[in-house]
Amino acid sequence: MINGLDPVIHTPKRLAAMAVLANSTTASFRFLRNYLDISDSDLSKHMSALEAAGYVHSAKDGRGRGATTTFKLTRDGQKAYNAHRDALRALLDGPSPEDLPQD
């Protein structure tokens, strides 16, 4: 953690995926792939990393060629995303007057 920023989410593609998931009930593999404009294997890698961190839950529906994978943000994922978002805002807003050294 640097300045409250989460290294797992900090990658732009993962951050964007988390932002999409934070604003939808679930997101399909196809929606994320099209929005992020990356290959299937790239998306799989990013989503696996988020899943390994406990931020995302995946579910497979159906079998074979018609199978669809959907992703959902976990409670920990929601917390991590909000914390990362707040940390980014804090970085831009600068330190609060209380944080500054007093003379």
Partner 1 sequence: MENDAREQLRILERAEAAPYISYPPTPRWYAPAIGAWAAAFIGAFTWWRENTPLFAASLAGLILLELVFVTWMQRRHGALPMPGRGRPPAEIGRVWSRYFVGLLVVCALVGLAWWRIGVAAGAATAFVTVTAGLAYYEYCYAQAAAEVRKRLG
Write out the residues near partner 1 by the rule CB under 8 A: 3, 10, 12, 15-28, 30-32, 34-35, 68, 85, 88-89, 91-92
Sequence length of the chain is: 103
Token pair for residue 14? 């993962």
Shortest Cβ 22–partner 1 spacing (Å) = 5
Shortest Cβ 41–partner 1 spacing (Å) = 19
Token pair for residue 59? 């579910």
Nearer of residues 10 and 45 to partner 1, judged by Cβ? 10
Task: Note whether 35 and 16 are within 8 A (CB).
Answer: yes
Q: Which amino acid is at 48?
A: S
